[in-house]
């Protein structure tokens, strides 16, 4: 069965960086992309970007450009999301999701369990 298992909760100080991992299993990793979506406490869902696990191509949300980097390690079927220069408003649950692309668009059919990142001095 398809599973995405994320790394554990993090507490960071403002200005620091965080790197969240997402280990995939149960499918051919390079056949799908991975998107990252975050959710601030009590708020809605915000798309952060996408990475192709096939060739490493990325597409980031403009508001995060320059602060976010998404990578994959195909040898371990793991995706990573690094966010730098953390601010208090980066406090959120961060989700990875398998991006299923087709002629009818892209949807996120499997999700990780979420990783809480808290930014606090």
Partner 1 sequence: DIQMTQSPSSLSASVGDRVTITCRASQSISSYLNWYQQKPGKAPKLLIYAASSLQSGVPSRFSGSGSGTDFTLTISSLQPEDFATYYCQQSYSTPVTFGQGTRLEIK
Contacting positions for partner 1 (CB under 8 A): 35, 37, 44-47, 50, 59, 61-62, 95, 97, 100, 102, 104-109, 111-114
Nearer to partner 1, 103 or 121 (CB): 103
Nearer to partner 1, 16 or 45 (CB): 45
Task: State the nearest-atom distance from the C-beta of 98 to partner 1, in Å.
Answer: 10
DSSP assignments along 12-43, one per residue: E-TT--EEEEEEEESS-GGGSEEEEEEE-TT-
DSSP 62: G
CA neighbours closer than 13 Å in the CB half-sphere of residue 5? 8
Task: State the nearest-atom distance from the C-beta of 95 to partner 1, in Å.
Answer: 6
Nearer to partner 1, 35 or 75 (CB): 35
**Burial zone of 96 (CB within 10 Å; 0-12 exposed, 13-18 middle, 19+ buried):** buried
């Amino acid at each position: 069965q398809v599973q995405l298992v994320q790394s554990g909760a993090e507490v960071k100080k403002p200005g620091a960086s965080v790197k969240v991992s997402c280990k995939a299993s149960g499918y051919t990793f390079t056949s799908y992309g991975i998107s990252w979506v975050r959710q601030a406490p009590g708020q809605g869902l915000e798309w952060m970007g996408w990475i192709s696990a096939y060739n490493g191509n990325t597409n980031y949300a403009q508001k995060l450009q320059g602060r976010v980097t998404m990578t994959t390690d195909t040898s371990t079927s793991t995706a990573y999301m690094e966010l730098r220069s953390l601010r208090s408003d980066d406090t959120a649950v961060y989700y990875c999701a398998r991006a299923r692309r087709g002629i009818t668009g892209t949807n996120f059919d499997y999700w990780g369990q979420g990783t809480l990142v808290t930014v606090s001095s």
